[in-house]
Structures are given as structure tokens and as C-alpha cells.
Structure 1
Amino acid sequence: MIPSRASAIFMAALLGGCTLHSPSSRMDAAGTAPESWSATREARSGVDHRWVKTIGGSPLVSLVDEAQRANPSLQASAARVDQAAAVAKIAGAERFPTLGAGTQASRQKQNFLGQASTANTFGVSLQAAWEVDLWGKVRSGAEAAMADAEAQQQNDRALRSSLAAQVSKAWLAVAESNEQVALADQAVKSREESSTLVRERFERAIADDGGSAAQVRLSQTELSTAKSDLERRRGERERALRQLELLLGRYPSGNVASGAKLPKLPAIPPAGLPSELLLRRPDLLAAERQLAAAGRRRDQAVKALFPSISLTGSLGTSTDQLEDILKSSAGVWSLGGSLTQPIFQGGRLRGGIEQAEAAEREAAANLQRVVLDAFGEVEQSLIAEIYLRRQEQELTHAVTLSQDAAERAGEEFRTGTGGVLTYIAAQNRQIEAASALVSVRRLLLDNRVNLHLALGGDVVLRGP
């Protein structure tokens, strides 16, 4: 009866452990969120989780989906999530007893007063040991590891969204490069036309300002400059293609589909309330989980000052005959316990508390910094949208005017009523305005990607 009673006591102590829970939210340490965004008073709730398709349609969705599957950085992040989960599992296992089985065999010879004797000993045993987490020290460490794992999961979410944004911007860079190459090619044709007109006037020796050799050289200079700019634009497109391939996890050979064009700017997504940002942005949630983990580690450091209680037990057999090793008549068992109170550690435990407290203060400050940066990113994207739209509007007007001016200057030059300098200057303005408009359209789309990222929505690629 004694062995079974001892086993029952041991199991009761084992089952008395408390269940682990993820540390409660400490987002209150982030400070008070403003009631509304300063750049907009609109506060519709929710975000566009399908913003990738909203911006680039199915072609961009396919590229982001490929990157999500093949990008090495994302694969490394997934491995870090698995590592953090394994660490949390290891930390949680410390709350439970260790159980091991073993066998032993020995042969001993003794000489006493000329008498020799030999003894054999055989046995099997089952050993158990458990540090009773009476004060919750081990539980605090396990919950800290759990919060670390949750933080890593949020970091992975943030990286996935960031990768989607990088692929989107790289795709938009390719699209802009395609349009800039087309504009540069058109500029070369315009320069060729104007150079031909100037040369013809010179050859006919027309006695006006279009008939000088200097103006011929000027038109040829503009043509060479336009050709140089075309090659520059082509080089930018090749670099953009290779950057996109790297994000996709491909070898940068420049073979990715390159027919993209800048899409129309979609409607601005709902910004919601600043307080909602604290509940959905993965980098904010990761920083909060890191603060929660730091708080649990501070608790663990404080509880290290308390006594530790350990229980040990074993059950097995011991016999001098190998064939009797599994017989119950050869059974042996033992139970033991110990209580240890730290008295002098040379300041190690107190130093551990100070270190944990400082780490918690650092995590709190980091949370406040990340929250402030997040608010700033949303505000900057919202205000940039306003001024980029105004810039786009003015450049659209400038393109219309410059096209009309270039056409009139060309007509006047052909009829001999206009000068070559005016003709070339009008062409320059038209080329510059058209190129600037394409760049601003791309900046608007890039800023829209930044806004979606700043609002903290998940990236949903498929589904209704």
C-alpha cells in the first residue's frame, strides 16, 4: 500500500499545476491615441485587405503570391516563428516533472581475510523529478516565452505585408519605367523631326534665325541628349525588372513579364480611428507582446528570490539474478523532497531583477516609439495624398498646355515665322511635363501602398 499511496501523492502534486495563459495586453503603456487623424476628419472603420488587387489587379496579385511562396526572407521569418514556438514549448515543459527509465547491471568482487566473494546486481528503474512551481516562477518564464512567440508571429505578419508592399512598388517602378521609355522614345522621334527641319532650312540658306550652322548643331545636340536619356530610361527599367525578380525569389535575369502600365489611382481606403490602429498593426502588436514578455521576465526574476521545492521519486527492481529483474518481489521505490532558499548569490539575483526591470522599461519605451512612428506614417501618407493630387492636377494642365505650345511652335517654325530656339524650348517643356506627370502618378500609387501598409491591414490575395 505504501508505494501506491506515494504515487497518488506525487500525481496529485503534478496535476495541481496551473494552466498557462498568454500575458494580458499591455497596450495601455503606449499612451493615449488621438480622437481623429489631423489630415482627415473621415473616420470610416475598416481597411482594404485586398489592396494588392485594388491597385494592380490580377497581374500584381500573381506576383505577390509568388513572392509569398518563394521569397527567402519570408521563408526565414517562417522558420523564426517555428523556433519561437519551440522555445515556448520548451519553457512550458519545465513546469512538468521529468520521467526517465533506465537499466543497470554491476559485478563486484571483495576479498576479506582471504575469503573472496563475487556479487551481481541487476535492476530496472523509473525515475521522476519535479520542481514544484509554488510561486509561479517557472510559469512566468513560460508565459514570457509564449509572448515572445506571439511577437514573432506578428513580426511575420508585418514582414508579409512589407513584402507585398515592396513587390507592389517594384511592379509600379517597372510600370513607370515602361511609360518613361515610351516617352523618351517619342522624344527621340520629335528631336529627329526638329533636327531634320533645322538642317533643311540651313541647306536652303533661309536668311532668318533658322538658317545658321549653330542652330543645326543645337538641334543635333538635343537629339543626342534625347537618345542618351532613352538609354538611361531603358537602364532604369532593366534595374527595376531585376529588383522585382529578387523580391520574387528568382534569379535576376530580367526575364520577368515587363508589359505593366501604371494603373488608375483607386479610391482612398477608409482610415478609421487612430485607436483602431493599435489593435491591428502587426508591428504594434509585436512591440506590445515584447513588453508583456519583459514584464513576465521581471516577475520571474523577482520570484527567483523565493525558496524552491523539488520532489524526486523512483520505482524499480533490484536483484542478483538477471531472470528475476522483472519480478515484483524484487521491487524497490523511493520518494524524496528538498527545499532550497537562496541566501547569498553575490548580487546575482538582485542584478537579475535590475536587468529585467531595465529591459521592461526599454520595451515600454520601444512600444511608445513604434506607436508614434505608426501614427506618423498614417498622417504623412494622408497629407502626402492631398499635395500629390494637387501636383498631379497642375501637371496634367501643364502637359495640355505644353503640347499645344509645342504644336504651335512647330507650325510657326515650318512656316518661317518662328525661331528654332522657341521650337526646341517648347519641345523640352512638353517632354519634361509628360515625364513629371508619369513620375507623380507613380508617387501617388507608391504613397497609396504606404497608406495601406501604415493602416495595418492584412494582405488577402484570393477569395471573393
Structure 2
Amino acid sequence: MINKPFRCVVLFCISVTLIACSSTQQRIDYANLAQQELDNTEVQANQWQSLNLAGEISYLTDLIQSDELDMLIKEALSANPSLQKTALTLQASLWELKKSHGANLPSVDASFDVNEEQDSDTNYAAKINISWELDLWQKLANAESASAKSLASDEALFQSSQDTLVANVMKTWLSLTSKQHAIEIESKRLSLLEANEQLIVKRFKSGLNNLEALDEARTSTSQSRANLAQYRENLEIQKRELQTLLGRNTPLEIAAQQDYPEVSYSLTGLPEQNLQRRPDLKSAYLTIEAADLNTQVAYKDMLPSISLSAALSDAAQSPRMALFTSPIWSLAAKLTQPLYQGGQLKAAAEVAKLQTAQAFQAYRDTLLTAVNEVEDALGQEKVLQQRLKHIRNALQSSRNNLTQYQTKYRNGLAELSDLISAQTTMFDLEAQLDELIYEHLANRITLGLALGLGVKPE
């Protein structure tokens, strides 16, 4: 017959267990809500096919075919300090998972004691203790699963860091060509301005031009020299930026490409992916799952726990005799039910719930950012195509106009100031067109990154 005090203890443990279980059931399934958010998110897929982009592309590195760029990307992935820091964080997460896995396994401790008292013989004691907590409520399993989700989240973040690094290397490499072209265009402008200045000086000495025209010519020439100096420094800045991305501490010796490479790709199949290729979204979703598992662990901390232990011990008056020559073994089982800890367990469970809710909101923020990045890149793609078309037409008209003014000037039918104005317009349009070409190519990389095109795994 079970005595009354023991029966009361059992009933109390059962009631506390039921309360904790009911609290566990009140959790909101944020992971399912996150999936619904993703399913309800619609990026205008019809825009993706309207870009008329050719070529089948799976990774960012497929956008540009260049052996030199491939070598730079490989160097950046292996030496960039920021990426290496993220890789170390990933290794730490792996060890955290191994630590959580170890909590599911029995623990074994060994001890050897020496006790010496005055007027007494020295005593030696050896003991081996094995303990194991029974995972009745799958609390330890949930903790291990949470660590596994956190590791997977960190792996996705590492992938995102790789993708961003490669995109930056590609854009900076393209920018070298853009900066070199700016130098070349400004150099041609400066040469023509210097020739115009010399011509105006001769005309001024001959009384054919006034002082204002000469000052205006010198102003334009000096301004062009200043711009050229800045463009040259801009090129060096881009080289230093690329050097930093590569993780180098020595000057980068690299020549800019004479012409832009072709950057084109197809978005075939990506509408069905619905942004799920983006590693930052994967990471945010896995963070929700990890937080949800940690919430379950926090609630299960309120439940009773059972632990088993076995010990093998021996004591003697010499170290050798104490090493289990006549050991004594013992077995024990312990039932522990938290009763009162000042509300710490309840507070920990509520904090875990709020952290899961925060993870869900962080996922929504990441999803909205992803959609916005795609839409912005798509909008820029269309606008840049239109601007390129119009600027090319404008440049062709400007060149035709310049040819006409040159003919008229030689025939004495146009003023020198009109010819210089036509020349200035042409050089401005050339510089604008080249900058637009770079922006268009860089935006292709931005769009690929936004759609989840990443680095090909090795």
C-alpha cells in the first residue's frame, strides 16, 4: 500500500508535468507561419522573362567568363579576413553541436583521493562513476536538434558571405575597366582642349579672339586636368579595394581590361524557386526552427527528470590496493521535479518564446528585403536598358553634329565656341555611356545575387 506522503508527492509531480505540457502546447508554430509568408510572397515573374537575357546560368561565377577573374575570386575565397572570421564562427557552431550531442551520452568520471590524518594511516580511495540522464521528454534531443539547426543557419550565413564577397570582387574588377575608360576619355578631352587653347592663344594674339574666350579655354583645360587627376586616383582606389577583398597586404598589380566582358544570363526556372535559393532566407528560417526547439527545451526544463548512476569504488591503505582490488559497486536512480526557483524556469520559457517571435520577425524583414532587392534590380535592369539605348542614339547624333560643325568651322560658317561646345557634348555623352555600361553590367551581378545565384561549391 502506498503511503499518503509519497502519494501526494507523485500527484504533485503529475500536476506540474501536466501544467508544463499544456504550456508547451500553447506555442505558436512560427516556422509554419514563415513558410506561409514565403508562399504568399510574389515577385513579378513575368518581368523576369521580359529581359531577353541569353545563356544558361546557375552560379554567380557563370556570369563572366574570365580566367583572370576566376583566379581573383579563388584568392578572395581563401584569404579574405572577414570571410575567414565567418568560417571560424562556423567551426565554433560545429563544436557546439558536438557538445549538445555529448549531453545525450552517459558521462564517466574517475577520481583518486588521498586522505592523511595525524596519528592515523594514510588512506587511498579510487572511484569510477557513470551517470546518465534519461531523456524522457526528448529535451536533450531537442537541444541537440536546436544546435544542428543553428549550425545549418551559420552554414547558410557563410554561404551568403561567400556570395556577397564574390559579387563585390566581380563588380570591383569591372570597375577597373570603367575607371580606365574614364581616364582615356578625359585624356582625349584634355588633348583637344589643349589644342583649342593653343588655337585661341594664336587668335588672341592676332586680335581674332577676346580675353574672355582665352580665360574660358584655360578654365576648361585646368578643370579637365583636375578631373583626370581624380580619375587616376579613382582607379588606384579601386585597385586598393580589390586588394582588400583579396586579403592582400601588398600592392595589387593588375591591368584593367580594354573592353568590358559580356555579362548575360537567363532567369529560366528561378520563378519556381521563389527566392528559396537565397542563403540569407535559409539562415533566417533555420534560426526560427532553432529558436522553436530551444523554446521546447525551456518548457521541458519544468518537467521531472530521471537520472541513473553507477559507481565502482575501493579504499585501501596503499595506492596499489586501492585500484579496485576489492571494489564495491552501487546503483542509484534519482527523480527530480523542480518545485520553486523564484520563477526562473517560467521566465526562461517566456524569454525563449519571445526570441522565437523575434526570429520570425527577422525572417519577415529578410524576406521583404529580398523582394525589394529583386524588384529594385529588375527595375534598374529595364531603366538601364532604356537609358543605354537613348544615350547611344544621343552620342551618334552628337558625333554627326560635331562633324557638321567641324566642316562649317573650316568653311568659316561657325564660331569656334560652337565647335568647342559640340566637342564638350560629345565627350560628356561618351563618358556617360561608358558609366551606364558599367552600371548595367554591375546591376546584372546585383540581380543574380538578389535571386540567389551563389558560388559554386567546391
Counterparts of 2:250 and 2:223, CA distance in 1:
29
Does residue 83 in structure 1 map to residue 81 in structure 2?
no
In the other structure, the counterpart of 2:140 is 138
Secondary structure class of the residue paired with 2:145: helix
CA deviation digits over 1:343-389, x for unaligned, max 9?
Answer: 11221111111111111111111112211221221222122111101
Cα 1:436–1:35 change in 2 (3 A) is closer
The Cα of 1:448 is off from its aligned counterpart by 0.6
Give runs of aligned pairs for residues 369-388 of structure 1, distance below 5 A.
369-388=365-384
Q: 1:63 maps to which residue?
A: 72
**CA–CA distance in structure 2, aligned partners of residues 62 and 357 of structure 1:** 47
Structure 2 segments unaligned to the other structure (5+ residues): 1-28
Which residue among 449, 452, 456 is the counterpart of 2:452?
456
Once the two structures are superposed, residues 99-132 of structure 1 have per-residue CA deviations (whole angstroms, 9 ceiling, x without a partner) of 022222323456xxxxxxx344333321112222
Per-residue CA deviations over 1:153-192 (Å, capped at 9, x if unaligned) read 0000000000001111111221100000000000011112
2:429 to 413, 426, 433: 433
**Alignment of structure 1 residues 211-230 onto 2, 5 Å:** 211-230=209-228
2:26 match: none
- Matched residues in 2 for 1:363 and 1:431: separation? 52
- Match of residue 167 from structure 2: 165
Letter in 2 for 1:446: A
| 1:300-326 Cα distance to aligned partner (Å, 9 max, x none) | 111111012122211133223444334
Match of 2:42 in 1: 34
Q: Write the deviation string for residues 76-115 of structure 1: whole angstroms up to 9, x where unpaired.
A: 01100000111111122111121022222323456xxxxx
Distance 1:374 1:256 in 2: 36
Please name the residue that 1:258 is paired with.
255
TM-score by length of 1: 0.85
Task: Please tell me the residue identity of whatever aligns with 1:79.
Answer: L
Q: State the match for 2:24 in structure 1.
A: none
Shift of 1:195: 1.8
Alignment of 1:212-291 (within 5 A): 212-251=210-249, 253=251, 255-270=252-267, 272-291=269-288
Distance 1:126 1:119 in 2: 23
- 1:11-410 matches, within 5 Å, as 27-31=34-38, 32-34=40-42, 36-37=44-45, 39-41=47-49, 48-55=57-64, 57-109=66-118, 118-206=120-208, 211-251=209-249, 253=251, 255-270=252-267, 272-326=269-323, 328=325, 330-410=326-406
What's 1:8 paired with?
Answer: none
- The answer to whether the 8 A contact 1:150-1:289 is kept is yes
Q: What is the identity, as a one-letter code, of the residue corresponding to 2:408?
A: E
Cα separation, 1, equivalents of 2:255 and 2:457: 21
Q: Contact between 1:215 and 1:420, CA under 8 Å: does it hold in 2?
A: no
- Contact in 1 for aligned 2:60/2:449 (Cα 8 Å): no
**CA-CA distance at 1:277 after TM superposition:** 3.8
State the shift of 1:50 in Å. 4.2
Residue pair 1:123, 1:317 contacting (<8 A) in 2 also: yes
- The structural deviation recorded for 1:52 is 2.8
Deviation at 1:38, TM superposition (A): 5.3
Aligned-partner residue type, residue 317 of structure 2: D
Q: How far is the alpha carbon of 1:205 from its aligned partner?
A: 3.3
The SS at the match of 2:66 is helix
Q: Do the aligned partners of residues 42 and 435 (structure 1) sit closer, same or farther apart at CA in structure 2, a change above 3 Å counting?
A: closer
Shift of the alpha carbon at 1:39? Answer: 2.6
Structure 1 residues 221, 326: CA separation in 2 closer, same or farther (over 3 Å shift)?
closer
1:161 alignment partner, SS class: helix
* 1:252–1:271 distance in 2 versus 1, CA, 3 Å: farther
Runs of 4+ off more than 6 Å: none
Give the counterpart letter for 2:133 in structure 1. E
- RMSD over aligned CA atoms reads 2.5
- 1:392 & 1:399 partners in 2: Cα distance? 10
CA contact (8 A) 1:84 1:149 kept: yes
| Separation in structure 1 between the aligned mates of residue 281 and residue 138 of structure 2, nearest angstrom | 28
Deviation larger for 124-133 or 30-39: 30-39
Range 149-158 or range 316-325, more displaced:
316-325
In structure 2, what is the Cα distance between the partners aligned to 1:99 and 1:189? 84
Q: C-alpha displacement at 1:278, in angstroms?
A: 4.2
Helix, strand or coil at the partner of 2:375: helix
The DSSP-based 3-state class of the residue aligned with 1:280 is coil
Between the two proteins, the alignment pairs up a number of residues equal to 426
Shift in alpha-carbon separation, 1:168–1:41, aligned structure 2, 3 A:
closer
Name the CA shift for 1:349/1:159 in 2 (closer, same or farther; >3 Å).
same
AA of the residue aligned to 2:432? A
Partner letter of residue 190 of structure 2? Answer: V
Q: Deviations over 1:420-456 (max 9, x none)?
A: 2211211110111000001100110110110111111
Deviations 1:187-210 (A, max 9, x none): 01111222222233333334xxxx
Q: 1:346 to 1:459 in 2, by over 3 A?
A: same
